[in-house]
Amino acid sequence: MAANNKKKKKSNSKNIAIIATCSILALILIIVLCVYLVLKSYIGKINKVDPDDWSNITSNTNEVQTDDDGNVISDTTMSDEINSSGAENFGDGEGLEKDYVKNIVLIGVDNRHFENILYNPGNSDAIILVSFNSKTHKVYLTSIMRDTAAYIQYSDALKAKNSRLKDGYDKINRANAVAGPEFLLDIIEGNFKIKVDDYILVDFYSLIDIIDILGGIPMTLTDAEAEAANNYIRDMDFDRGVSDWETANVLTGGGDLILNGVQAVGYSRERQTAGSDFNRTSRQRAVIEQIIVKAKKMSVTQLNDLANSILPKVYTNMSESEILGMVADAVTYLGYDLEQYRVPFDNMYESVNGNLLPDYEATNQRLQDIIFATE
């Protein structure tokens, strides 16, 4: 009898343990499901774009194209000899890739007239190659200057749409305006020999909202930088319909400041001060770095506000599963150290007809050494 009671107690204890284990697993599954559904609802706000969606870009006309400063974007002005060497480099092999590196291109465009980006993506005012290296535990931000001369090879379909297009070196920021970000990725890979599959495209006006939700970011400006930034600040406030656009957000001078959204974007875009576009790319990376620093300290409420405000203005070719994977890795990435670079590298380019023509052999080796940690 006593033996039977012991068996029953053991059996009951075992059943209780099984029930408890199943309950915990069920609770974990419910939590995971809830998190997944929440993430899925946020991800659903992002504009996931198929390559064919960029086929109706209205800038593929015979009209003369201009950049955001009103300068005419001309066809290639390089010599036949230089263009010939560019064609040879462009077609020489695929981009390097490693399983421990994830490359994404962040594209910032100036959609100042709030047009449909799918029909008029505009010139890429900022091109930043973001490389996540799980071996070195670092994130590398590499700005590609907008005036960088890249060999651009157009398809027959694009040439049929625009008779002015011809293969050759041109400013790299033109690629996005002509055929969209997928085409820009091809141009980056063909010239720099780095495999890049994904892009994230944002309008500069989206960055204004991001920084405002974060409560501004700290920056140190010179008086000259503040004065130059004010030109962009006034333009953006006018385009946004700010009633007192001439004075609302203007900076009264330099110093250690907390910049709001429009001030920070104006600062990152100006290139009238010493250093021109070289320093502008540095300012763009500095703004992004401060956004990352502030983002690490965001509350749940701020994260929710940020997601609801920004995600509908983000365009990407990443699938839902790829985005979920990036979200899952985000906590790890936030712990990575950040390093910043700029292309063209110092002493590895020449100025030709207003274009910055890199020494691509040396540049590509240097870039691969950095991103893939092969030094």
Residues 202-217, buried b or exposed e (16+ Cβ, 10 A)? bbbbbbbbbbbbbebb
140 close to 234: Cβ distance less than 8 angstroms: no
Q: Give me 39's structure tokens.
A: 């993430």
Crossing angle of the two packed helices 204-213 and 261-269, in degrees rounded to 10? 140
pLDDT per residue, tens digit, the chain (375 aa), is 555 555 555 555 555 656 555 556 555 555 444 444 456 677 788 888 888 888 777 554 444 455 555 554 555 556 676 777 777 777 666 788 999 999 999 998 876 655 677 777 877 888 999 999 999 999 999 989 888 999 998 888 888 888 788 888 888 988 888 889 999 999 999 999 999 989 999 887 788 888 998 899 999 999 999 999 999 999 889 988 888 988 889 999 999 999 999 999 999 888 778 666 678 888 888 898 898 888 878 777 777 777 787 788 889 999 888 888 887 787 788 788 989 899 999 999 998 887 889 999 999 999 999 999 876
353 close to 178: Cβ distance less than 8 angstroms: no
Would you say the pTM of this structure is higher than 0.85? no
Contacts of 117 (CB under 8 A, 6+ apart): 109, 111, 201, 203, 315
Tracing tokens 């100042």 back to the chain, one arrives at: 112
Q: Give me 236's structure tokens.
A: 């953006």
Q: Give me 103's structure tokens.
A: 């490359």
Reduce the DSSP state of residue 140 to 3 states and report it: strand
